[in-house]
Amino acid sequence: MKSIPFLLCISLNSCLSSAQDGNQQLQKIEAALSASQVTISQVLSDEKYMKLHPLTAFREIIKKYANTEKTVMVTANEPGKRITVKGRVLSKKGEPIAGALVYVYQTSAKGLYADTAAHVGMNDGDMRHARLFAYFKTNGNGQFEFETVQPRGYPDADLPAHIHIMMWQQGQPIDHMPAELLFDDDERLTAERRKSALEAGFLIEKHSGTPDQPVYNYVLKPIGN
């Protein structure tokens, strides 16, 4: 029998009970989203659902109901400085891409993708199971906006903090788009790291707003155009 990921089960009965509880929560979440009784932000920022975040079934529900509203992807109790990230997705001709599906994921303020570890089975696991994530769509002007906490670079490493970002249009990946959003005020962003990030096509932006409420604006356009 396959083990249930992300849960510590001390007996078969506890495993089955946990799985049943999780399935019931997932059904409740989908029903509420389908009936517009809750928003994506309310689900992602609800402390009682945080243990579900790494689960594929939960993430598929969030993806299914992604929309153009501003998304809050962290709970009120999530440690770290709150930031707002705004973006605009453009085609290689500079035209806004409306209705694009956007996926973002990041580390916590401690530099962790999981609750207690820097990584969830390294890159592929991080992409599929990072605790802090969101799906949303671009509006008619190609814009999106989400609220999160300032991520931190991995512990015991010197990589700068970043937010991973992926995009699809009509179910197909939008190729050659920047894959990471970086922060100009990150102390790890040395001249060498900055040069390397820009060469890779990553975006680096200064914040507007206030020191207590930073806002970062990014324009995402196919690299090399």
Each residue's pLDDT tens digit in the chain (225 positions)? 344 444 444 554 544 456 678 899 999 999 999 999 999 999 999 999 999 999 999 999 999 999 999 999 999 999 999 999 999 999 999 999 999 999 999 999 999 999 888 888 767 899 999 999 999 999 999 999 999 999 999 998 999 999 999 999 999 999 999 999 999 999 999 999 999 999 999 999 999 988 889 999 999 999 985
Residue 111 pLDDT: 96
**Distance of alpha carbon 64 from alpha carbon 175, whole angstroms:** 22
pTM, full prediction: 0.90
Give, in order, the Cα–Cα distances in Å from 207 to each of 145, 159, 211.
14, 20, 9
Structurally, how many domains does the chain consist of?
Answer: 2
Residue 112 φ then ψ, to 5°? -110, 135
- Are 68 and 33 found together in one domain? no
Query: Is 68 within a domain?
Result: yes
- Are 90 and 123 found together in one domain? yes
Residue 61 CB burial class (10 angstroms; 0-12, 13-18, ≥19): buried
What are the beta bridge partners of residue 137?
101
The domain containing residue 20 runs over which residues? 9-38
DSSP 162-175: EEEEEEEETTEE-T
Query: Is 78 within a domain?
Result: yes
Residue 169 pLDDT: 96
Residue 22 pLDDT: 82
- Are 81 and 15 found together in one domain? no
Give, in order, the Cα–Cα distances in Å from 197 to each of 86, 172, 182, 186.
20, 25, 8, 13
- Are 203 and 189 found together in one domain? yes
Residue 68 pLDDT: 98
